[in-house]
Amino acid sequence: RTWPSDRVRQVFMDFFRERGHVFVPSSPVVPHEDPTLLFTNAGMNQFKPQFLGRVDPRSPLYSVKRAYNSQKCIRAGGKHNDLDDVGRDTYHHTFFEMLGNWSFGDYFKAEAIAWAWQLLTEVYGIPGERLYATYFGGDDALQLPADEETRALWLRHLPPGRVLPFGVKDNFWEMGETGPCGPCTEIHYDRVDGRDSAAGAPLVNAGDPSLMEVWNVVLIQYNREPDGSLRRLPARHVDTGMGFERLCSVLQGTDSNYDTDVFAPLFAAIQCETGCSAPYGGRVGRDDAEGVDMAYRVVADHIRTLSFAIADGAVPSNEGRGYVLRRILRRAVRYGQQFLQAPQGFFHRLVPVLVQRLQHVFPELAAKQDMIMTVLADEESSFGLTLKRGLERFRVTANALQAAGQTVLPGHEAFFLYDSMGFPLDLTQILAEERGMTVDAAGYQEEMARQKAQSAAAHRAKMGNAGQLVLGAEQLAALGQRGVPLTDDSSKYVW
């Protein structure tokens, strides 16, 4: 049996529907009703009232005890922020689907674990020898005991060397600073055939792409209160989340989420719209010396994130959620231009392929297609103007620093690129990294704090200085710019 992604999703849904679960559609990826969250980061977000025992009795969900869906998630800010990994690795996206099943005060760990095992091994046919399970090993400071019950449940299926305890970081799941939470048990998949447990075990939760976390089963029993304490909830719940793109890569036998039918149509569209001579080649890290494949991954990931966020009512802007989106767009456009030679305007033209591919699952995409494209095209063209000038500015500054034997870009320069050229810090950091330089991020933050603290008038006066670049006549000529001569050194000009 082969596993196209649409079948993978459908089989998950069928499995839990047959076990008495009700389909509750994905909530928007923009949590309009939850001020504690930047973006929806897990399937459980919309079920906070269920876990807290606060569902309105008039709600159609009041009597629902078991639910399932595929939830749209964005992890690009807040407690779960994967933005910096995206493009560099093969299994973190900023936008992904999370397949989930829930019990609201109904079944607990025994059923949740038995069904997870059955679905993965019997239905999807994943060999059990490729799987590891983790459980919560306890925490003295939090006065939480190890979850021996879960360990025993896994030992029915797996040998002891494949059932591993971990601490709070990996096996106590929390959505944010506050909210429902609890110990969890996770399933990890070894992409390498025939590796023995002793060699595989150290790679679990170690950031190794060959041994990847697939499914998290959270046993929700607490609420993290605003004062940081854990309050025991009146009932115990099950909240699971499985990365859909990761599962597809496992079932399609690939080494990377990106080498699946989830991303293939997007890569084809990217090649078409950028005119890049090379198709996506799947190389990572040092093998991807030109950065072309990383750029493909960044662009493919980010068009998904932006399209879904805009469809759900967010727009790029200067603050909060909108600022995160603006940064993501700029990262994508800049990667496209630099590594794929993308022309201005390529990014929004990727939207139709995405819509076509996923509209049967998320119909809001098709309904909002025109709006998404307009917003992206506007944002892209305004960024295009600053990008060109900013890259040039960076090049000249970095050249001057390197000629003087320096490797750190000062904080005020990074801040100028941010404030006047719209370069997010991570973009400047990427540019610096490419030349073997670093950015004084602390200095940048200081500049930022200073700017915030100053009155508007003082701020304007200051930016008049910080924004100036002193150049020699040749450098100016190379830029095709005219400067104002410095009063105390007429061989130098201010640009």
Residues 238-257 close enough to bind ligand ATP by CB under 6 A: 241-243, 245-246
C-beta closer to ligand ATP: residue 83 or 430:
83
Q: Which of 97, 89, 88 is nearest to 68 (CA)?
A: 97
Query: Which residue among 51, 154, 215, 415 contacts ligand ATP (CB under 6 A)?
Result: 215
Q: Which of 71, 83, 47, 42 is nearest to 175 (CA)?
A: 42
C-beta closer to Mg ion: residue 82 or 312:
82
- Using rule CB under 6 A, residue 75 touches ligand ATP: yes
- Using rule CB under 5 A, residue 171 touches Mg ion: no
Tally Cβ neighbours within 10 Å of residue 404. Answer: 7
Q: How many residues bind Mg ion (CB under 5 A)?
A: 2
Query: Which residue among 21, 24, 26, 82 contacts ligand ATP (CB under 6 A)?
Result: 82
**Binding site partner of 242, from Mg ion, ligand ATP, none, Cβ cut-off 5-8 A by kind:** ligand ATP
Fill in the amino acid letter for 283. R
Query: Least separation, in Å, of the C-beta of 218 and ligand ATP?
Result: 8
Stretch that binds ligand ATP, among 115-123, 208-216, 261-269, 429-437 (CB under 6 A): 208-216
Q: Which residue is nearest to Mg ion (CB)?
A: 216
- Using rule CB under 6 A, residue 92 touches ligand ATP: yes
C-beta closer to ligand ATP: residue 190 or 245:
245
Query: Which residue among 101, 216, 256, 475 contacts Mg ion (CB under 5 A)?
Result: 216
C-beta closer to Mg ion: residue 213 or 364:
213
Q: Is 108:101 a contact under the CB 8 Å cutoff?
A: no
C-beta closer to Mg ion: residue 12 or 280:
12
- Using rule CB under 6 A, residue 47 touches ligand ATP: no
Q: Is 347:303 a contact under the CB 8 Å cutoff?
A: yes
C-beta closer to Mg ion: residue 256 or 369:
256
C-beta closer to Mg ion: residue 213 or 288:
213
Query: Least separation, in Å, of the C-beta of 407 and ligand ATP?
Result: 31
Structure-block tokens of residue 236 = 């115990």
Query: Which residue among 39, 47, 51, 96 contacts ligand ATP (CB under 6 A)?
Result: 96
Taking the C-alpha atoms of residue 351 and residue 368, their distance in angstroms, rounded to an integer, is 10
C-beta closer to ligand ATP: residue 241 or 422:
241
Q: Which residue is nearest to ligand ATP (CB)?
A: 243
Query: Least separation, in Å, of the C-beta of 435 and ligand ATP?
Result: 28
Taking the C-alpha atoms of residue 135 and residue 170, their distance in angstroms, rounded to an integer, is 9
- Using rule CB under 5 A, residue 185 touches Mg ion: no
C-beta closer to Mg ion: residue 60 or 207:
207
Query: Least separation, in Å, of the C-beta of 186 and Mg ion?
Result: 5
Angle between helices 456-466 and 411-421 (to 10 degrees): 110
Residues 98-157 close enough to bind ligand ATP by CB under 6 A: 98
Stretch that binds ligand ATP, among 58-66, 235-243, 403-411, 434-442 (CB under 6 A): 235-243
Query: Least separation, in Å, of the C-beta of 80 and Mg ion?
Result: 6
Query: Which residue among 24, 144, 153, 214 contacts ligand ATP (CB under 6 A)?
Result: 214
C-beta closer to Mg ion: residue 328 or 421:
328
Where along the sequence are the contacts to ligand ATP (CB under 6 A)? 75, 80, 82, 92-93, 96, 98, 213-216, 241-243, 245-246
